[in-house]
């Protein structure tokens, strides 16, 4: 796609549309998906825009086939994406694990709705956050980003593609129905293709190429299918040639690297935003739309003389545990509002390690918290 085929300017659009436009700007050329509320608008937009950009859109028969097609497309050298919501996200879990094992760069967008099961298909939830980290089986690391506005879902979708290409890992954009469906001004900048991140390619001739021989950053260069490089792709435990090796030694070597390529590079991945935490004794830790609501609660608390602050998680996985440990030395308590019955709160509690209280402000879904609900929790801790 030439640079001119991406939109540039200021637009009043929804988060779902902004996500699709970001994918185009990031160089995505393949989308496979299945319609599911509240993510369908992403697929609709991609079905119209990808052909204009010289890409391919395919509506698959279900979400299992969708993520399988995305993995296959990525191995042909294109940037690939799918979008879904709760039930579809569950169906994708096995192949997301396959993507981690095969070290396949791709982006999966989850516009979360209230569950479990069919739940409230058109209403908001944040109940898939732990599934994003632990949903597939075995040991692996994943990257998950949580936008709080249509502008940020645009920005973070581009970042998701860059991270997936850099670390050869599926990257998740864990949005929610409110962010996906709200419409606001979104500034779409000119994104030059040369400014984007692309997977590192082999620098050796085909006869010397080992598809899973890592570089110093623990990430192997990735050849493109059909360009003369021989490689074997399997979900089985494999050696640097990609051939199955069925023993504990091979498992240890491979899985440690799959995990460590994220953990050892986490300082270059983790992002968060702080508001008035310098002197805060009570820190609200939130993400997505809940963080946006929490901003008002923190301001209201400050107006009452309560030294509250906000830690907004932008990268949810890997988790900002070091920063939370640091803040737990000064804070009396963490308040964690979530549109679920408690998920990320347990990570905050783990990292606080008993040095500060951790208080969940749950919401079962279908709507967002009111600022007053979060403020009430702040007041109770401050007493």
Tokens, residue 8: 């540039």
Spatial distance between the Cα atoms of 75 and 201, rounded to a whole number of angstroms: 12
Q: Of 337, 375, 382, nearest to 359 (Cα)?
A: 337
Q: What domains sit in the chain, N to C, each tagged with a CATH number? A: 3-195 (3.40.50.970), 273-382 (3.40.50.920)
Q: Of 8, 75, 16, 347, nearest to 211 (Cα)?
A: 75
For the chain, counts of helices (H) and of strands (E):
12, 15
Tokens, residue 97: 């694990």
Q: Of 29, 45, 260, nearest to 141 (Cα)?
A: 260
pLDDT tens by residue, the chain, 383 residues: 344 478 899 999 999 999 999 999 999 999 999 999 999 999 999 999 999 999 999 999 999 999 999 999 999 999 999 999 999 999 999 999 999 999 999 999 999 999 999 999 999 999 999 999 999 999 999 999 999 999 999 999 999 999 999 999 999 999 999 999 999 999 999 998 888 999 999 999 999 999 999 999 999 999 998 889 988 899 999 999 999 999 999 999 999 999 999 999 999 999 999 999 999 999 999 999 999 999 999 999 999 999 999 999 999 999 999 999 999 999 999 999 999 999 999 999 999 999 999 999 999 999 999 999 999 999 999 98
Length of the chain (residues):
383
Q: How far is CA 381 from CA 292, 329, 333, in A?
A: 21, 17, 7
Residue 169 · residue 143 · CB < 8 Å:
yes
Spatial distance between the Cα atoms of 82 and 92, rounded to a whole number of angstroms: 10
**What dihedral angle (degrees, nearest 10) is formed by the CA atoms of 346, 347, 350, 353?**
-110
Residue 336 · residue 348 · CB < 8 Å:
yes
Report which secondary-structure segment, H or E, holds 152.
Answer: helix 150-167
**What dihedral angle (degrees, nearest 10) is formed by the CA atoms of 143, 87, 313, 296?**
160
Q: Which residue has the tokens 């109770």?
A: 380
Tokens, residue 261: 């390529």
């Amino acid at each position: 796609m030439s640079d001119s085929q991406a939109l540039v300017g200021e637009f009043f659009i929804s988060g779902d549309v902004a996500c699709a436009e970001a994918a185009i700007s990031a160089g995505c050329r393949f989308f496979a998906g299945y319609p599911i509320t509240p993510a369908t608008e992403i697929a609709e937009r991609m079905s119209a825009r990808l052909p204009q950009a010289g890409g391919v859109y395919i509506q698959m028969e279900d979400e299992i086939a969708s993520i399988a097609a995305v993995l296959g497309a990525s191995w042909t050298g294109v940037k690939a994406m799918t979008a879904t919501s709760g039930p579809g996200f569950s169906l994708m879990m096995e192949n997301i694990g396959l993507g981690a094992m095969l070290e396949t760069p791709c982006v999966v967008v989850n516009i979360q709705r209230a569950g479990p099961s069919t739940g409230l298909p058109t209403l908001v939830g944040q109940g898939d956050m732990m599934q994003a980290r632990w949903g597939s089986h075995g040991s692996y690391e994943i990257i998950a980003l949580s936008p709080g506005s249509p502008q940020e879902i645009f920005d973070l979708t581009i970042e998701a593609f860059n991270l997936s290409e850099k670390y050869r890992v599926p990257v998740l954009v864990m949005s929610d129905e409110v962010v996906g469906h709200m419409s606001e001004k979104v500034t779409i900048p000119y994104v030059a293709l040369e400014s984007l991140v692309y997977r590192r390619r082999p620098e050796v001739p085909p006869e010397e190429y080992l598809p899973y021989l890592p570089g110093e950053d623990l990430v192997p260069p990735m050849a493109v299918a059909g360009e003369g490089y021989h490689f074997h792709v399997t979900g089985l435990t494999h050696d640097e040639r990609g051939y199955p090796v069925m023993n504990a030694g091979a498992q240890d070597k491979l899985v440690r690297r799959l995990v460590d390529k994220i953990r050892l590079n986490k300082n270059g991945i983790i992002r968060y935003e702080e508001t008035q935490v310098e002197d805060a004794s009570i820190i609200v830790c939130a993400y997505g739309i809940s963080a946006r609501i929490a901003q008002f609660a923190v301001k209201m608390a400050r107006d009452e003389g309560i030294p509250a602050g906000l830690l907004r998680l932008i990268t949810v996985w890997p988790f900002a545990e070091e920063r939370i440990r640091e803040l737990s030395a000064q804070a009396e308590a963490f308040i964690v509002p979530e549109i679920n019955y408690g998920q990320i709160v347990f990570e905050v509690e783990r990292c606080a390690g008993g040095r500060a209280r951790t208080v969940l402000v749950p919401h079962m879904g279908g709507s967002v918290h009111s600022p007053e609900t979060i403020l009430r929790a702040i007041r109770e801790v401050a007493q």
